[in-house]
Amino acid sequence: MKRVYVGGILTEKEARVLLVDRAPTDPWMAGLWSLPGGRVEAGESLEEALAREFYEETGLEVEVRERIIAIERPDWRVEVFLVRRLGGSLSEGTDPHISEARFFGVYQLPERIVLEAQMALVKHALHVGMTVTPNDFTVLVDSAFSSLFYTYLAPQFAQLRSIDGFELLEYIVVTTPHRKFKSCIPYLLADCHEDARPYCAMAEVLFAIWTLLDDLCDRRVTRYGRPTTLRSFSLQSSIVTVFTVLRSLEQYLEKNVGPAYSERILSSLVVCGEAELERFENRDLESVEHYLEQASKRTLFLRTAWAEGLRLVGKEKQARFLFSLHETTSKLGQIINDYFDLRDLTLRDFTDEVVSYYSIVLRRALSANPSDLQTFLDLWSAPRTEHTRERYQRLLRKYDVQEMLRQEVLRISDDVIDRVRNSGIDGHHKEIVIGWLRLSFRDFVGEDDLQDDYSRQLEAFLGAFSSSCRSVR
């Protein structure tokens, strides 16, 4: 017989919802936020169990109202109800496994939230008429990936501690806000098969290694507004980790997976390193194809990890699809990164004397204007000063290169989404991938695009997400 759990949604002013933080001693959800609730005991009704759990965990007396959702898993199910506050005092609960109780907005949910709680909250918000903007869509899709990672994949990730340098890699994963699609996409396309977890967790490890290498090459001390390992662990520790982690990773993979898998993963990281080095040597301002091909090579490790892991759990069709798709999306991702670099006027291409997508686009746009072209070439070869930087910015504005990149991102994105829709993978897998591809749309859509029904798109994504999670244990 399945175990039965209950959870309650208590909303107060500004539609903020009450969550509880599970202490490290909690046997099932340690370190995660969840809805107040717990297991139904023998002889209890669902309503009685929820009222009891709510009081024990939060100190609040509640009236249990209508049931809004039931989430089924192979060994258990959870019934989620709306509740109304009757009395009591918040944070005076008696459950020793609760560290804190706090209200959150649905768009500010903690990253470490139990998957089923996140899904119930967002589906309820949609049911009562929540309007979804492109930004909201990005926040809530990212939140779904993070909740899946921390609920079901993070324990597997933690088992990789025997790899030398894991402390730095874990720091990178934890301090990268959201963006856990790297492990969740293959996990969802494997329909959350338990055997897929080690390979999906490996994707996070490999991306952390790439991030460490990228930060070293760019001498980056902050990423996403947070200190990188160069600042938190020192430059020396970061460099040493690059060397030690690769050998340790090879030994771990050979022992736990096999030499063939290990060889493919390590070879893809070597290609990544070579392409990263080439980025600083490339001075070709005319070949878009070469620039994007090198960008694709820099993330070969990720699609290799995705494909090899899916093959090992018998998902050959999904493996071929993801590998091929990522060759295109990695190039799109580089254009998006360069767009942000231009939008924020970081202009790393000019400062660090490396080629970027927008410098190539500008070079092409100048071909019809010999005078401006000569100015550009002179600036590119001149010493970098504030004056030459300002002149470079004026050229970028004059030819509206930022808008060119925006239109290019939207065009390629539409083509990729059409490709997914016409692919042979299952329908719910298509919606998951499309949701992932739309994560960056909030930064590119114009006023005309805001008429799109992002509520409907979010509902489709969540429905597909739920379908893939039915077998999760």
Q: Which residues are catalytic?
A: 100
For residues 306 and 186, the answer to whether their CB atoms sit within 8 Å is yes
DSSP class of residue 113 equals B
- Which residue bears the tokens 């492990």? 183
20 - beta bridge partners? 34, 101
Q: Which residue type sits at 237? A: S
Radius of gyration of the chain (CA): 24
DSSP states of 383-431 = PP-HHHHHHHHHHHHHTTHHHHHHHHHHHHHHHHHHHHHTSSS-HHHHH
Alpha carbons 119 and 137: distance in angstroms, whole number:
14
Task: Please work out, in degrees rounded to the nearest 5, the angle formed at the alpha carbon of residue 402 by the alpha carbons of 396 and 408.
Answer: 130
Look at strands 37-39 and 60-72 and give their pairing: unpaired
Q: Quick check: 50 and 7 in contact, CB under 8 A?
A: yes
Report the distance separating Cα 396 and Cα 307, nearest Å. Answer: 39
Q: Is residue 143 within 8 Å of residue 435, measured between CB atoms?
A: no
* Cβ neighbour number for residue 415 with a 10 Å cutoff: 11
Token pair belonging to 178: 């959201």
